[in-house]
A and B are shown apart, each in its own frame.
Chain A
Amino acid sequence: MKRKSPYPYWFVLPAGVVFTVLFLVPTVASFWFSMTRWDLYTAEFIGFDNYTQFFKEPFLIQGLVNTLIYALATSGAKSVLGLLLAVLLTSGLWGQGFLRTVSFFPVLVSTIGVGITFAVLMHPTKGIFNLFLAQFGIIGPGWLTNPELALYSIAFVDLWKGIGLATVIYIAGLAAISQDYYEAARIDGATRLQQFWRVTVPLVRPATVTVVTLSLIGGLRSFDLIWAMTRGGPGFSSDVLASVIYKQYQAGFYGLSTAGNVILFLLIATIVLPMTWWFNRREVDL
């Protein structure tokens, strides 16, 4: 008698159907369109011309570099600061509940809302950031109008908005660590710092992987916040791949824009896939 697995494949079916039809199919179709000159009505096959055109884009190299900087900065900050914040917020502080709630507030507001608000707060002469600095006689920089600074200012806002989420995921992960491990470490005379490095960090691994992977992908694809705050400006200094792609689309270069989408996907894949494979090799089933 063939024994049916208690983990049947048909569990995957409903999700699989929705995903395939509404995501995979259009994505594959767009790969085809990326090789055409497409104006949404007629598509003229031009092979890889779109790709060569995309790489000739004067602002593309800048956009690529910006994308990497933005993704690494936000992902790194969220992973590290998120964990630290989570540890802090599970250590029994006074006002801990309040702190947990408040740090999650930014996650709740729409990205456009956040973008608009911070664009106003970072105004070079009227925003409170610079008004506050002016109290000390410091002339604040143009956070969003200085081409060297714009991208980092947006990354800061991204961090503000997203750290609450990273913290929540980490807190869930910390909760799964049995107190026995800490007991054992304490009995062995480990300091708090040693406990952190030897017990917490290794055992909070599933959460770390989740946070790093998601924030990296999110950072590489980031669009809404950058668009809401600077639209890639001033000039092109805060353009990332996603905004370059959108601008091509807005200009009506659909084939070119879709090619950009494919390039973005390949970029993400080359970074994230090896990283994920490396993480998974070391995962242990508890």
Chain B
Amino acid sequence: MKRRQYIVGLVATAFASVIFILPFLFIFLTAAKTKPDASRLLFTWPEEWQIWSNFLEVIQTRNYMLLLAYFNSTVITIGAVGMLVIFGAMVGYVLQRRPTGWNKLIYAGVLIGLMVPPAVVPTIWVLQGLNLFKTITGMILIQVAYGLAFSVLLYRSFIGTIPRDLDEAAIIDGAKPLQVFFKVILPLLKPVTVTLIVVQSIAIFNDFTNPLYYLPGRENVTVQLTLYNFQSQFQTQYNLLFMNILLVTIPPLIVFIFFNRQIVAGMTAGAVKG
């Protein structure tokens, strides 16, 4: 490695640690404090390390609500992301490969999906009409509806980099459209798919307002809602609040660490392909 790369890397690492890691350190330290210590909100070493008991208290609040929330949020995330990858790629594929008049309409739909803020109460009425209100299935479909625009946009952009010759070759070999899609195209979209999985999982897992409106009820609690257990209008238990933030960050972190290798692998594979 050249010396320049080494030095720049070192400096960058120092900067990055301060900029990106410091706030997390604060969260961690506050999560380890006692209640009065934490409510002073200073960036100090805890007077008394209460990390284990804070952890237990957060988990046990309201009958282990956090664990149920983990479960619900995970189900919603996996369900929605799965559908988003497949639907998004399908639409992006057709949009890119088959330029006809309909495309303008679909594209407009995509833009609308990105731009227009969703209307809460009419959406609830629709869900009630379909008997999907307050159901996990309904929540999954909502997240799909809201996330489609971004997914389609991302896929459409990158399908442009896959040469048509590959499709043509497969078709000449007698493959049907679905086969072309699943066997030829989708595997080549791996870098984008991985990016999308990571981004959408995080967005959906961390979503607060949508489950608040469309998925009320104790049995339906999702992860961000637990933050409200500790933040009321008048008294905030900061140590528990930050412990909650910490605990709520771990699943996305796991997803990220797991997929990080794949993102890297995907990048290098893409780079080599001439």
Q: For the complex, is B56 an interface residue (Cβ under 8 Å from A)?
A: no
In the bound complex, how far is the Cα of B117 from the Cα of A227, in angstroms? 16
Chain B residues, CB < 8 A from A90: 267
Q: For the complex, is A185 an interface residue (Cβ under 8 Å from B)?
A: no
Q: Which of A117, A169, A261 touches B27 (beta carbons < 8 Å)? A: A117
Chain B residues, CB < 8 A from A224: 208-209
Asked whether A273 lies within 8 Å of B111 as measured between CB atoms, the reply is: yes
Binary interface encoding of chain B residues 101-118 relative to chain A, with 1 for a CB under 8 A from any of its CBs, else 0? 010001001011111111
Asked whether B245 lies within 8 Å of A109 as measured between CB atoms, the reply is: yes
* B167 closest partner in A (C-beta): A6
Chain A residues, CB < 8 A from B199: 107, 165, 168
Considering only CB atoms and an 8 Å cut-off, how many residues of chain A contact the other chain?
Answer: 96
Binary interface encoding of chain B residues 199-239 relative to chain A, with 1 for a CB under 8 A from any of its CBs, else 0? 10010001011000000000000001001000100000000
Q: How far is the CB of B176 from the nearest CB of chain A, in Å? A: 8
With known contacts A99-B13, A276-B111, A113–B248 Cβ distance under 8 A:
yes
In the bound complex, how far is the Cα of B87 from the Cα of A16, in angstroms? 9
* B84 closest partner in A (C-beta): A15
Chain B residues, CB < 8 A from A4: 177
In the bound complex, how far is the Cα of B26 from the Cα of A172, in angstroms? 31
Asked whether B41 lies within 8 Å of A22 as measured between CB atoms, the reply is: no
Q: How far is the CB of A247 from the nearest CB of chain B, in Å? A: 14
Q: Which of A221, A265, A272, A283 touches B160 (beta carbons < 8 Å)? A: A283
With known contacts A11-B91, A112-B227, A121-B23, A92–B195 Cβ distance under 8 A:
no
Chain A residues, CB < 8 A from B6: 93-94
Asked whether B13 lies within 8 Å of A180 as measured between CB atoms, the reply is: no
Asked whether A102 lies within 8 Å of B20 as measured between CB atoms, the reply is: yes
With known contacts A88-B12, A116-B241, A117-B23, A272–B115 Cβ distance under 8 A:
yes
Identify whether the interface residues of B are mostly helix, strand, loop, or mixed.
helix
* A29 closest partner in B (C-beta): B122
Which residues in window 142-164 of B have CB below 8 A to A? 142, 144-146, 148, 150, 152-154, 157-158, 160-161, 163
Which residues in window 1-45 of A have CB below 8 A to B? 4-9, 11-12, 14-16, 18-19, 21-27, 29-30, 33, 40
Identify whether the interface residues of A are mostly helix, strand, loop, or mixed.
helix
In the bound complex, how far is the Cα of B150 from the Cα of A108, in angstroms? 18
* B146 closest partner in A (C-beta): A23
Asked whether A7 lies within 8 Å of B248 as measured between CB atoms, the reply is: no
Which among B9, B146, B152, B153 has the greatest number of chain A C-beta atoms within 10 A?
B9
Asked whether A104 lies within 8 Å of B256 as measured between CB atoms, the reply is: yes
With known contacts A93-B5, A172-B267, A209-B157, A180–B43 Cβ distance under 8 A:
no
Asked whether B88 lies within 8 Å of A15 as measured between CB atoms, the reply is: yes
In the bound complex, how far is the Cα of B122 from the Cα of A123, in angstroms? 39
Q: How far is the CB of B205 from the nearest CB of chain A, in Å? A: 8
In the bound complex, how far is the Cα of B202 from the Cα of A110, in angstroms? 8
Chain B residues, CB < 8 A from A60: none
Asked whether A33 lies within 8 Å of B19 as measured between CB atoms, the reply is: no
Interface residues of B (CB under 8 A from A): 1, 5-6, 8-10, 12-13, 16-17, 19-24, 26-27, 40-43, 87-88, 90-91, 93-94, 97-98, 102, 106, 109, 111-119, 121-123, 125-127, 130, 141-142, 144-146, 148, 150, 152-154, 157-158, 160-161, 163, 167, 171, 177, 180-181, 191-192, 195, 198-199, 202, 206, 208-209, 224, 227, 231, 241-242, 245, 248-249, 252-253, 256-257, 260, 263-264, 266-268, 270-271, 273-274
Supply 17 A–B pairs (Cβ within 8 Å), ascending by A. A6-B180, A8-B94, A11-B93, A15-B88, A15-B152, A21-B130, A22-B123, A25-B126, A26-B118, A26-B123, A92-B5, A113-B27, A121-B23, A121-B26, A172-B263, A207-B157, A264-B117
